[in-house]
């Protein structure tokens, strides 16, 4: 990621032309992380794809959910994704990376390779209980579990990665019987049957 430019490299006219009054509040936020992402967005093309990628990047860079929430409040009104949407999208970026799939948001694959993805995955998982404790309800525990089931049964992903990822997830999500059995099977070193 390129270094964030200082504020004086982004003229006020640019902010006022491109962004909403709410977004301008981000520029003056007391949270330096919010300011950092605001500057990055101000230098971007402002497209929905770029905004979604930036939302995911907040979590990939292990910033907290409240930073992401501040950014989402500043997005243009026509940006339909909410906090839960971006949270599960970032979760899926990690899983798709491990599975060798195309990344569905506009984040460069080479950039993703620079991250410790297991550490990123655990950080994202730590934000899931925070999301629910703050009243989030647009994404369910079952949606996370479905994605974990897909990961757990994907033989392309090394067993060690699946065991470690599911082990982290077990601390933050409520597992159903099916996911528990996948994790136990992998821990025993046995092959997981995707038809289970």
Q: 10-residue block means of pLDDT along the chain (196 residues)?
A: 52 56 73 84 74 90 91 68 92 96 89 95 97 93 96 95 97 96 94 69
The predicted structure's pLDDT at residue 57: 93
Look at residue 116 in the predicted model and tell me its pLDDT.
97
pLDDT at 1: 46
Residue whose pair of structure tokens reads 């930073």 in the numeric block: 67
Q: Which two tokens stand for residue 113?
A: 């390779």
The Cα 177–Cα 179 span in angstroms is: 6
Q: What is the 3-state secondary structure (H, E, C) of 2-49?
A: CCCCCHHHCCHHHHHHHCCHHHHHHHCCCCHHHHHHHHHHHCCCCCHH
- Residues 85 and 83: their CA atoms lie apart, in Å, by 6
- Report the pLDDT value the prediction gives residue 188, as an integer from 0 to 100: 94
The pLDDT assigned to 195 comes to: 53
Q: In the prediction, which pLDDT does 23 show?
A: 67
pTM score of the predicted model: 0.85
Helices (H) and strands (E) in the chain, counts: 11, 0
pLDDT number for residue 196:
46
């Amino acid at each position: 990621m390129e270094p964030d430019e200082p504020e004086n490299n982004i003229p006020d006219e640019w902010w006022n032309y491109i962004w909403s009054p709410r977004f301008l509040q981000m520029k003056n936020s007391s949270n330096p992380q919010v300011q950092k992402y605001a500057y990055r967005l101000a230098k971007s093309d402002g497209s929905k794809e770029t905004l979604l990628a930036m939302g995911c990047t907040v979590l990939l860079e292990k910033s907290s959910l409240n930073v992401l929430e501040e950014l989402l409040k500043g997005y243009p009104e026509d940006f339909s994704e909410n906090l839960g949407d971006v949270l599960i999208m970032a979760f899926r970026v990690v899983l798709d990376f491990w599975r060798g799939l195309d990344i569905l948001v506009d984040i460069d694959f080479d950039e993703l390779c620079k991250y410790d993805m297991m550490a990123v995955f655990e950080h994202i998982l730590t934000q899931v209980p925070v999301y629910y404790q703050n009243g989030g309800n647009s994404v369910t525990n079952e949606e996370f579990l479905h994605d974990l089931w897909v990961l757990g049964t994907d033989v392309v992903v090394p067993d060690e990665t699946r065991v470690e990822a599911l082990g982290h997830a077990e601390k933050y999500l409520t597992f159903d019987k099916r996911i528990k059995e996948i994790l136990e099977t992998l821990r025993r070193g046995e092959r997981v049957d995707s038809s289970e």
